[in-house]
Amino acid sequence: MIAKKVFYEGRVQGVGFRFTVKELAAGFDVTGYARNLPDGRVELEVQGSEQEVDAFLQAIRESHLRPHISRWIVQPVEVIPARKGFSIR
């Protein structure tokens, strides 16, 4: 299991970003959340197997959201064993 925190920058609020990410997450064996930040970025935290997490993040980059993303920053974070599901915060 691995966990990553990703900060998406660009026009990522007000375009259905978090809802799309939640829908995409349903197709992968991952858990986590997406939330808007006051500075206009979206924070995503995701955990699962390395293969599932990487595939999920790639699916976000290849989705219709791509034109809205100007930059993303990925950081490793600690796995939270009890985490279940994927939510919008």
Which positions are annotated as active-site residues?
A: 18, 36
3-class state of residue 23 by DSSP: helix
Which of 28, 40, 24 shows the shortest CA–CA distance to 88?
24
Which of 30, 43, 35, 48 shows the shortest CA–CA distance to 85?
30
